[in-house]
Amino acid sequence: MTAVVGVLALQGDVREHVDALTACGVRAVPVRRESELHAVDGLVIPGGESTTMSKLLGVFELDDPLRQALRDGLPAYGSCAGMILLASRILDTRADARHLDALDVTVRRNAFGRQVESFETDLDFAGITDEPGADPLRAVFIRAPWVEEAGPDTTILATVPAGPAAGRIVAVRQNGVLATSFHPEVTGDLRVHQYFVDMVKEGRAS
């Protein structure tokens, strides 16, 4: 039976993630209600504006159900703002901003600067680019966060290779939760989405 992967559809680049997941062979559906959340095998939290998304979690009464689903082991992937929402600790955000405490990381919001300071670079990504013959992963950063500190149970998958932000952590995984600072949904490279789809399928099989 085909896996069903939801994309949290409150705000942000929802359609791009739906298209990428569909290309990876799963059924991708938008999630705005608790009933829709309970019908998926995994969930993507897209990029967007993290404080707006955190408010809408409350408006749509998804905050507590999503926290519980993550505690119960729902696989999740957050890109950019999604990384911020999944974190346990957030720097440079509003005092009333919600977060989901699904990753033992400290994330700095807008760490790379404003929109005009968006950039692209090639990354090595553990589990993807270390495959024989694999090309580097092209990563697009748009008002992106980075991980300032990762807990002992969090695996670092990618760091910035060069420049003023060299060594900064931009992809992590903790059990069934994956997060990236960058936006793989805008490049046409499906490898990060396929990595997450494989995580979802592993979760279904266990």
Is 50 marked within a binding site?
Answer: yes
Q: Is 185 a catalytic residue?
A: yes
Query: Which value, in Å, is the radius of gyration of the alpha carbons in the chain?
Result: 16
Is 118 marked within a binding site?
Answer: no
Q: How many separate helices (H) and strands (E) can be counted in the chain?
A: 6, 12
Single out the catalytic residue among 16, 17, 80, 99. 80
Q: For residues 80 and 142, is the Cβ–Cβ distance under 8 A?
A: yes
Is 48 marked within a binding site?
Answer: yes
Single out the catalytic residue among 24, 99, 185, 193. 185
d(CA 36, CA 4): 11
Is 156 marked within a binding site?
Answer: no
* DSSP secondary structure letter of residue 172: E
Single out the catalytic residue among 16, 17, 99, 183. 183
Is 67 marked within a binding site?
Answer: no
d(CA 13, CA 16): 6
Is 61 marked within a binding site?
Answer: no
Q: Is 80 a catalytic residue?
A: yes
Q: Which residue's structure tokens are 């099989």?
A: 205
Any idea how long the chain is?
206
Q: Is 193 a catalytic residue?
A: no
What residues form the annotated binding site?
A: 48-50, 109, 142-143
Residues labelled as active-site residues: 80, 183, 185
* Bind-site residues for L-glutamine: 48-50, 109, 142-143
